[in-house]
């Protein structure tokens, strides 16, 4: 599957890309929100993996922008965040993400977690809160 990774930290990009490519996925990398939004319209990803802590435009704003594109209606967005505060999960989901993976990435479970989201593709028009 083709996965668009939006992540500003090069070490996190390297690790996530390594783990997903090891499972046969294609990973396209964006280093910022605006770059990711631009790429999402061109590369037809099967899933978008979105860091929340991004400079200039944070992951919440990126998710909202991605969700305003009807072409991405069925594409799952999975947030990656180190925030552990109560309410952050709700904020991630409210911004249009479908799921949530916590940093630091666990190499043992990361790819399996992503594949679970790949299997449950969104339904167009699915209610979002």
SS3 100: strand
What whole-number distance in Å separates Cα of residue 4 and Cα of residue 110?
15
Largest CA distance in the chain: 36
Beta carbon of residue 62, minimum distance to Mn ion (angstroms, whole number): 11
SS3 65: helix
- Under 8 Å between Cβ of 17 and 27: yes
Q: Which is nearer to Mn ion, 43 or 57 (CB)?
A: 57
Q: Which is nearer to Mn ion, 8 or 113 (CB)?
A: 8
Question: Residue number with the shortest CB distance to Mn ion?
Answer: 53
Q: Which residues bind Mn ion (CB under 5 A)?
A: 8-9, 51, 53
Q: Which is nearer to Mn ion, 9 or 93 (CB)?
A: 9
Q: Which is nearer to Mn ion, 44 or 82 (CB)?
A: 82
Beta carbon of residue 88, minimum distance to Mn ion (angstroms, whole number): 14
What whole-number distance in Å separates Cα of residue 104 and Cα of residue 124?
32
């Amino acid at each position: 599957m083709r996965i668009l990774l939006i992540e500003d930290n090069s070490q996190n990009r390297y690790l996530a890309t390594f783990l997903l490519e090891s499972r046969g996925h294609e990973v396209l990398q964006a280093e910022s929100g605006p770059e990711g939004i631009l790429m999402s319209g061109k590369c037809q990803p099967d899933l978008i993996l979105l860091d929340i802590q991004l400079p200039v435009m944070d992951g919440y704003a990126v998710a909202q922008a991605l969700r305003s594109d009807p072409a991405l209606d069925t594409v799952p967005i999975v947030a990656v965040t180190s925030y552990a505060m109560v309410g952050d999960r709700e904020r991630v989901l409210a911004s249009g993400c479908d799921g949530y993976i916590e940093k630091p990435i666990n190499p043992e479970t990361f790819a399996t977690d992503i594949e679970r989201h790949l299997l449950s593709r969104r339904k167009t028009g699915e209610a979002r809160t």
